[in-house]
């Protein structure tokens, strides 16, 4: 039987999906169940092509969840390298050319529109304030204007260049790490990351404030 | 000459899945064999999505390829979690 392992990056992908998509507590178990057949049939997943050559995939417990893996025949090991939401492709696939890039000024203006979107969705004022404040805190962190109290790591260089939604998603993970390093409780870290990702997903057209979380 | 394969298969279920199949068959008033054939066909369709389409999907997900490369680097550096510790 092949040994099945999950790369730390893939585990982080799954953790982020659980948070941003409000997936059930049983998600890790379900993913584990979906991966178990690979121990017996490591080549079960179809081989990807193009720049993905060498990678294979299977569907997760939900058809939108793509579990991308590699099989090392020499040591008979299946390694899951990333876990992705196939629906995230919609906005990028439907857009023309390269993905949109956002400068800090664009993001500031977008935050105002985000607040209006929250209000228009009929959210309670306290919820609107919460959504907007957490998103603003993330944006201020990435430009060096905010650090969590008791942060221990080196100050982050401010990010002033234009970035894509994917760049922002990666920065949100680093932000959560910074919050964690400041000694916050797990639930607090989750709240910071979840709300930062709500805003990033909204920018990318994959999230509607006040709507059901997929 | 291509190998001739029969469409008839013998499948042995473990106790748990056999009980589940008969429970479903009883509930839906369908013969267990007919239900098993339908469920297996659905599972096979889901198990074999088109790799070209999925490649295109993955290419359209911002940052997905970079995440896969990061995951690969993690694997090569031994930064992995065993499946049962996920």
* pLDDT tens-digit series, residues A14-39: 998 888 788 888 999 999 999 999 99
pLDDT in tens, A112-136: 999 999 998 889 999 999 999 999 9
Interface probe for A, chosen from B46, B53, B64 (most Cβ of A below 10 Å), is: B64
Segment B9-26 mean pLDDT: 92
CA–CA separation, A73 and A54 (whole Å): 12
C-alpha to C-alpha distances, A63 to A54, A84, B49, nearest whole angstrom: 22, 11, 10
Nearest residue to A159 (alpha-carbon basis) of A183, A174, A139: A139
Nearest to A170 among B50, B63, B69 (CB): B63
**ipTM higher than 0.90?**
no
Cβ neighbour number for residue A117 with a 10 Å cutoff: 18
Domain residue extents for chain A: 3-92, 98-203
Chain A: closest CA distance from residue B14 (Å) = 15
Smallest CA-to-CA distance from A205 within A93, A66, A128, A63 is with A93
Position A182 scores a pLDDT of: 86
Write down the pTM of the prediction: 0.59
A-chain residues near B84 (CB < 8 A): 32
Nearest CA in chain B to A164: B62
pLDDT in tens, A181-207: 888 888 888 899 999 999 998 888 878
How does residue B3 score in pLDDT terms, banded at 50, 70 and 90?
A: low
Give the mean pLDDT of B35-46. Answer: 84
* Domain A3-92, CATH among 3.40.50.970, 3.30.2310.20, 3.40.220.10, 3.90.1150.10: 3.30.2310.20
Give domain limits for chain B. Answer: 11-48, 49-79
CA distance B44 to chain A (A): 11
**A135-170 tens-digit pLDDT:** 999 999 988 888 888 777 666 666 677 888 888 988
Nearest to B61 among A5, A8, A84 (CB): A84
Measure in Å the smallest separation between the Cα of A124 and chain B Cα atoms.
32
Mean pLDDT, range A1-15, rounded to an integer: 94
Q: Tokens 């939604």: give the residue.
A: A165
């Amino acid at each position: 039987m092949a040994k099945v392992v999950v790369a730390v990056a893939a585990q982080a992908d799954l953790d982020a999906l659980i948070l941003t998509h409000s997936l059930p507590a049983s998600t890790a178990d379900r993913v584990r169940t979906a991966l178990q057949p690979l121990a017996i049939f490591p080549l079960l997943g179809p081989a990807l092509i193009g720049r993905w050559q060498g990678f294979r995939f299977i569907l997760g417990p939900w058809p939108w969840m793509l579990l991308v893996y590699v099989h090392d025949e020499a040591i008979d090991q299946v390694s899951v390298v990333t876990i992705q939401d196939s629906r995230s492709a919609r906005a990028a696939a439907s857009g023309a050319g390269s993905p949109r890039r956002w400068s800090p000024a664009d993001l500031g203006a977008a935050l105002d529109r985000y607040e209006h979107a929250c209000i228009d969705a009929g959210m309670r004022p306290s919820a609107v304030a919460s959504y907007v404040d957490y998103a603003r805190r993330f944006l201020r962190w990435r430009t060096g204007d905010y650090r969590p109290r008791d942060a221990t790591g080196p100050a982050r260089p401010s990010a002033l260049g234009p970035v894509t939604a994917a760049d922002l998603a990666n920065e949100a993970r680093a932000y959560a790490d910074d919050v964690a390093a400041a000694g916050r409780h797990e639930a607090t870290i989750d709240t910071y990351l979840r709300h930062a990702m709500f805003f990033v997903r909204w920018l990318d057209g994959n999230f509607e404030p006040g709507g059901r979380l997929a | 000459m291509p190998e001739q394969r029969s469409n008839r298969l013998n499948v042995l279920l473990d106790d748990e899945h056999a009980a589940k199949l008969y429970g479903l068959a009883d509930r839906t008033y369908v013969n267990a064999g007919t239900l098993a054939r339908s469920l297996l066909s659905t599972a096979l369709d889901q198990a074999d999505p088109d790799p070209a389409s999925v490649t295109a999907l993955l290419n359209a997900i911002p940052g997905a390829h970079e995440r896969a490369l990061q995951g690969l680097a993690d694997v090569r550096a031994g930064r992995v979690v065993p499946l049962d510790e996920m």
